[in-house]
Structure 1
Amino acid sequence: MPEGTPGPRTSAVRTKAARAAALALSAALLAGCQLPDVSMSPGLTADDDVAAAAETTAARTTAAGTTAAGLAAGAATAPETAEVPARPAGDLDSGSLTRSLPAGDRTVVVDYWTTQQATTWTAEDDKTIQLAAHVEGGDDDTEVLVTRFAATTDDGSTRALVAEDRGEFALTPPFSYTTALSLPGAASPADALTLSVQFDLLVETEPGAERYFRQTVLDTVELPLLQEDPS
């Protein structure tokens, strides 16, 4: 081997030394580098992030409070509606009514009806009611007479006689007693009117006897009245 030429062992030593130097240089370079902090926005510090989060929370709280206050103010300023008492159902709301009233071994059937709208009646309205009465049952040969018919009204504070009819009117089938009642309106705060009717009957003791006994038949009809809107 010529003088001055390195041998195999010397070459190996030099190669290992070069590798070691390269590794040391890499470690030094890595030690001098820092990875970016991805937990924060670029250009912001940790204190900046905390302040931003606090501002966002405060803004949301303020918005929620404003919304709640607005709803409360709207509810407080909503106009109050005056309540009108509910009108109960009346006996003539459908326009007609039939009542069967016992009278001994007979029944007096009374039909009431009106051509007006009973559901809209107020205390001040004039009201017209018609009625027809006839007898069912018993002996058809026994005479039955109506000797007095009376109708009264009562609004809770005033009672008035609106019709009275005296006489001897046949009520034996096929006859009936028919009349019309006029109930005048009045300036009253009443919320209901009660119509009471009375039939005084004379019933023959037996056919052709011309002797009679008296029976009285009573009935009432409830007429609720609308109240004026206080507003």
Structure 2
Amino acid sequence: MRHGTRRHARWAAASALVAGAIVLAGCGPSPWALQSPEPTVTDPAGSAAPTDVAPPVENDLSGGSTERQVTAGAVTATIDYWSTLRMDKWTPNAVKPVSLSMITKVKPNDGQKVYLQKATMLAVPANATESFEALTPQVDESSLNGTPGYLVLSPYSYSQTFNVGQVPAEATYVTVQFTFDYLVQTTPKSKEYAKQTASDTLTIAIAQPADDGAED
């Protein structure tokens, strides 16, 4: 009997140990909690600071020429502008010609004439953040003796070429301002004139010079 009792005691002790192990396993962390967390993937491109892109430079002569109409009182002038220098050659150090051809009409047309007394061009270089000092104005003023100016009433026209000189290397465009002073006869045979002034502006891009060190 003692031998049977000892065997029963050993079996009870073993059962108790197994039950304790099961309880401990049930109280521990879950298997998925013991796994390492997945690394967080960051996008370097998304975290980079945005880069400012300069807006494209306006160019009124990008098509080779442009036509404008300006009005001064009773006078309406139609003006064609162009340059004999290609736009990719409009570099800061180049002499940059601007040509124009003008013809006018007057309303009402009672037979009086229209004269161009003076044409002035002022070029102001600039870039997206600043304007630079204006270049020396260029003036074409009539010096015809006995006349008030150049006759510009249709079918007669006026043509001239002005030059934009050297501009700062930082300039990306130049604003070309034109002023036209007209004298209009008060009556067809009168020697009295009314002065009218019109203005117009072109924006022309400045090309960057080619890099001499660049490979073909």
Regarding TM over 0.5, the answer is yes
1-structure distance, mates of 2:110, 2:166: 41
**Matched residue pairs, number?**
171
Q: CA deviation at 1:224?
A: 2.9
**8 Å CA contact 2:135, 2:165 repeated in 1:** no
2-structure distance, mates of 1:219, 1:191: 20
**8 Å CA contact 1:98, 1:109 repeated in 2:** yes
**8 Å CA contact 2:87, 2:207 repeated in 1:** no
Return the match for 1:89 from 49, 53, 58.
58
Compare CA radii of gyration and give the structure with the larger one: 1
2-structure distance, mates of 1:116, 1:226: 12
Gaps of 5+ in 2: 1-34, 46-50, 126-130, 143-148, 211-216
**8 Å CA contact 1:128, 1:180 repeated in 2:** yes
Match of 1:78 in 2: none
Identity %: 24
Match of 1:105 in 2: 74
Return the match for 1:174 from 141, 155, 166.
155
**8 Å CA contact 2:115, 2:151 repeated in 1:** yes
Match of 2:166 in 1: 185
Q: Which has the higher contact order (CA 8 A, sep 6+)?
A: 2
**Pair 1:154-2:124 in alignment:** yes
**8 Å CA contact 1:140, 1:173 repeated in 2:** no
Q: CA deviation at 1:209?
A: 1.3
2-structure distance, mates of 1:165, 1:104: 22
**Pair 1:210-2:191 in alignment:** yes
Match of 1:144 in 2: 114
2-structure distance, mates of 1:166, 1:225: 28
**8 Å CA contact 1:152, 1:195 repeated in 2:** yes
Gaps of 5+ in 1: 1-56, 76-81
Match of 1:41 in 2: none
What TM-score do the two structures reach when normalised by structure 2? 0.63
What TM-score do the two structures reach when normalised by structure 1? 0.59
Task: Name the SS for the 1:160 alignment partner.
Answer: coil
Return the match for 1:199 from 164, 180, 191.
180
Task: Name the SS for the 2:136 alignment partner.
Answer: strand
In terms of fraction of residues, the more helix-rich structure is: 1
